[in-house]
Amino acid sequence: MTRADLFLMAKEFIDTEYPSLERLYQEFHAHPELSGLEEWTAGKLGKELQAAGCVVTRGVGGHGLVAMLENGPGPVIMVRADMDALPVREETGLPYASTVRMTDTAGREVAVMHACGHDLHMTTLAGTARTFAALKDSWRGTLMFIGQPSEETVSGSARMVADGLYARFGRPDAALSFHIAPDLPAGTIGYREGIFTAGSESLDVRVNGVGGHAAHPEQARDPVVIAARIILAFQTIVARECPPDEFAVLTVASVHGGLKHNAIPDEVDLQVNIRYFEMKIRDLLLNAIRRTAEGIALSAGLPRDRMPLVTLLPESVPPLINDPAITGRIAAAFTRTFGEGQVRRIKPLTGSEDFGMFSIADPPVPVFYFRVGCGDGRGSCGYLHSSRFAPDPVFLKDAVAALVIATAELLDRPFR
């Protein structure tokens, strides 16, 4: 049987399964859960994969799950979907819109929504598992379906690997994943080799000062003013220290300090995020942040023991790098199947994604990540992380077809 025959059979099966997949998507959408709290979600996805014939293990790296579909000797291919939702109040008006509220890990009660398409990703994973289970006579090997928690905090993949993912279930020959893309036309597939998404570091910067009365600022060392100077000085790091042909972003996204109009506080807390494609730029940014903050604190008359405290947070991830050889194979398979007009080589994304952490092994696992468009050119479905993000679920047909083609290409011949 040729790959073209396999795709035609898969497409017919996907069309038959679509009503069931749409209902599954609506159920996922109506029951979102925050990062690290995906208990119901993991249970539901696990039951779907088990019904497709997989052997399912839950509780890997938190609420992560691993579902193995074995079908004789051949390559072992990982296929991953993320499971968590966002603290966003849904405003789509959909009949199955989320009304869920949860207490987050900081103790705050928040509205929760699948505003990033992870509900569609999980449904696509289930549809892909069903397809390969139904067409077992057409392929050989092992599929390792992964339900990953905590993608929005870019931490779930690393926790699954640290929890013995490969020691317990075996090292895959390659790993696949994708993301919905409202900025690409519906049915379009976006790919690229090499750097696909940016690296990201989140930092807490505590700006120390000496508190006092607002009537006597000369007796204090005002951390609000010091923090303001630091924030403005940070804006020159990218403009004046990074090479113009290198990608770099530095954002101060949160400023908190003080409780009373007439009381100068002792400290101000900043939340900072940086984005980069090259590790040398990451190091440049981090060094410049520390140097700039300390220099301004010294100029304000603070002693050495009151310098700003810069803390790197676990919510950080390196760039996601697609394996060039695998990318070439799958991109060619996409083009043969969907046509050149539907397959685009895209630019690296400035957003971040922790799927690349699954490459950590000895030897590394080659990974391929791609995007599937759902846009209509008018922005009517909203954008990622928007309270109005509501793509047409018919997207599932394109997504399952693309994931089946990518997986089948890697099952086609062994890597070892």
How many Cα atoms within 13 Å fall on the side-chain side of residue 117?
24
Has domain 199-312 been given CATH number 1.10.3720.10? no
Catalytic residue (one of 152, 173, 267, 323): 152
How confident is the model at residue 414, as a pLDDT?
Answer: 46
**Which CATH number, 3.40.630.10, 3.20.20.70, 1.10.10.10, 3.30.365.10, labels domain 3-197+319-411?**
3.40.630.10
The whole-angstrom separation of Cα 57 and Cα 60 is: 7
Phi first, then psi: give them for residue 173, nearest 5 degrees: -75, -25
To the query of whether residue 82 is one of the catalytic residues in this protein, the response is yes
How confident is the model at residue 413, as a pLDDT?
Answer: 61
pLDDT in tens, 17-76: 999 999 999 999 999 999 999 999 999 999 999 999 999 999 999 999 999 999 999 999
The whole-angstrom separation of Cα 355 and Cα 178 is: 9
Give the percent of the chain with pLDDT over 70. 98
The model's confidence at residue 106, banded by pLDDT at 50, 70 and 90, is confident
Q: What is the mean pLDDT of residues 150-163?
A: 96
Residue 203: pLDDT over 70? yes
To the query of whether residue 183 is one of the catalytic residues in this protein, the response is no
How confident is the model at residue 249, as a pLDDT?
Answer: 98
How confident is the model at residue 2, as a pLDDT?
Answer: 67
Residue 1: pLDDT over 60? no
pLDDT in tens, 340-351: 999 999 999 999
Catalytic residue (one of 82, 222, 315, 409): 82
pLDDT in tens, 278-324: 999 999 999 999 999 999 999 999 999 999 999 999 889 999 999 99
Domain ranges of the chain: 3-197+319-411, 199-312
Residue 416: pLDDT over 70? no
State the Cα torsion 355-358-359-365 to the nearest 10°: -120
Beta partners for residue 328, in sequence order: none
Chain position carrying tokens 């598992």: 129
Cut 0.85: pTM above it: yes
Residue 394: pLDDT over 50? yes
